[in-house]
Amino acid sequence: MSGPVAGGVTPDGPPDEVLDAYGAEGRPVWMGGAWRVGDAVVKQVDFLPETVWRAEALFALPDSPEFRVARPVRARDGAWVAHGWEAARLVPGEPDVGRQDDVLRAGAAFHEAIAHLPRPAFLDVRDDPWSHGDRVAWEELPGPPGAARLLEPLVRARRPVDLPSQAVHGDLPGNVLFAPGLPPAIIDWPVYWRPPSWAAAVAVADALCWHGASPALAERWAHLPEWGQMLVRALIYRIVTHEALNGPEAWTPDQVAAYRPVVDLAVTHARPAAG
């Protein structure tokens, strides 16, 4: 969930004590959010309870022919975190945001595999712009009054839903890696407790707003439960998070123009069927 370093400046690499704690050898290479060191990837911990819960879940997850994950690495003392840093095995592959359906299929397989996990307690105390946007989307908090007037039609279209929630990946586009001859790899898992169709809707909304997808993508996945309502909530989540991160003055004409047709599309999907 971390954004880019301010100004595009490469941050300082992992300290020697971190490399030693994980037995990582080699010259650290900045990957835009984490450092590759040999066959490991290390990054600073954002929120300790989430890091530990996620590491335990991924460590115990069986292998699947449908997806790969970046397996967490324990430090020499057996802990998942050392000196404020976490580590995982490097997985081959590159993101391809143009492969939207493949991203969604990988996410669906991953969500099926983790459906048994209990709700993590850290979700009750995690406090960041993304968690704030999520809570506003699900009517657990009030939304901002402005948000470039993008929220008004979404809030009007929002209706109650009755779907089971589970642990889901809340940021699939860009975090699914593809490599020839291998299943897609899912990395950088921000944990949410929502219906899997909401996680798919976030991916679709991102693809429509930022990655050149056509409205046909939303049509292809409209079989998912409460699809229109999930799209509405996905967009509220992204819009509120953007404002929480950047303030109301950060709404540029280009950003508003990117969201506006997708908001209209979501509202159309959310309308009750005629008859």
Predicted pLDDT of residue 6: 42
What is the number of other CB atoms lying within 10 angstroms of the CB of residue 62? 5
Q: Where are the beta strands (DSSP E) in the chain?
A: 29-30, 35-37, 40-44, 68-69, 85-89, 94-95, 166-169, 176-178, 185-186, 191-194
- pLDDT tens, position by position, 32-64: 999 999 999 999 999 999 999 999 999 999 999
- The pTM of this model reads 0.94
In a 3-state reduction of DSSP, which class is residue 204? Answer: helix
What CA–CA distance (Å, rounded) separates 117 from 251?
Answer: 38
- pLDDT tens for each residue of the chain, 275 residues long: 433 344 455 688 999 999 999 999 999 999 999 999 999 999 999 999 999 999 999 999 999 999 999 999 999 999 999 999 999 999 999 999 999 999 999 999 999 999 999 999 999 999 999 999 999 999 999 988 778 789 999 999 999 999 999 999 999 999 999 999 999 999 999 999 999 999 999 999 999 999 999 999 999 999 999 999 999 999 999 999 999 999 998 899 999 999 999 999 999 999 986 54
Tell me the CA distances in angstroms from 216 to 7, 106, 157, 220, 262, one per residue in order.
36, 19, 21, 6, 12
Backbone angles phi, psi at 267, to 5 degrees: -60, -40
